[in-house]
Amino acid sequence: MDSYNGLMLRYRRLLFAVCNRYAHRGLDADDLMQEVMLALWQRREKMQAIAPAPKQAAWIWRVARSTCIDLHRKREPSPTLLPDDYDAPAEDTSLHDALHELIAQLPDPDRTIVRMHLEGYEYKEISRHTGLTKNNVGVRLMRIKEKLKQQWDKTV
């Protein structure tokens, strides 16, 4: 059974990826990380009781994500200095959506590898989850990126 500090070191990249994803929504990544670590500390006994590797990482990811979402919802809107008649431009998410559509079209093992990589998992953790070797994960990820790049060039 790992200690709390050991688990935080093991999953620091995953936690940072989750916090960084929600930081762009007006919250500071460091503040989010502190709140997530506090939430995990409060649930440390359950966290340590979960079997290592994929189940533990998935549980930690869910707690981190839920904590970030809760903080985002609780945050009071900041006063705006813009005039009442200001019409903000619509956020263009078409490129982001197009990339995620390309990822969704990948076959299952490749899609899993890409998504875990984007969420901050290390090759070692991806290999444990997928059953591939660490080197194979790296090679496949490189090939997947090249494949996505070629498909991207065709669509954009």
Give the model confidence (pLDDT) of 87-126 as tens digits: 666 666 777 788 888 888 888 889 889 988 888 888 988 8
Query: Residue 2: is its pLDDT beyond 80?
Result: no
Domain count across the chain: 2
Query: Residue 45: is its pLDDT beyond 90?
Result: no
Query: Residue 143: is its pLDDT beyond 90?
Result: yes
In a domain, 31, yes or no: yes
Please give the residue range of the domain that contains residue 64.
4-74
Tell me the pTM.
Answer: 0.47
| Nearest residue to 18 (alpha-carbon basis) of 60, 52, 47, 46 | 60
Residues 151 and 98 in one domain: yes
Domain boundary among 40, 74, 108: 74
In a domain, 112, yes or no: yes
Task: Give the pLDDT confidence score for residue 61 in this predicted structure.
Answer: 87
In a domain, 89, yes or no: no
In a domain, 64, yes or no: yes
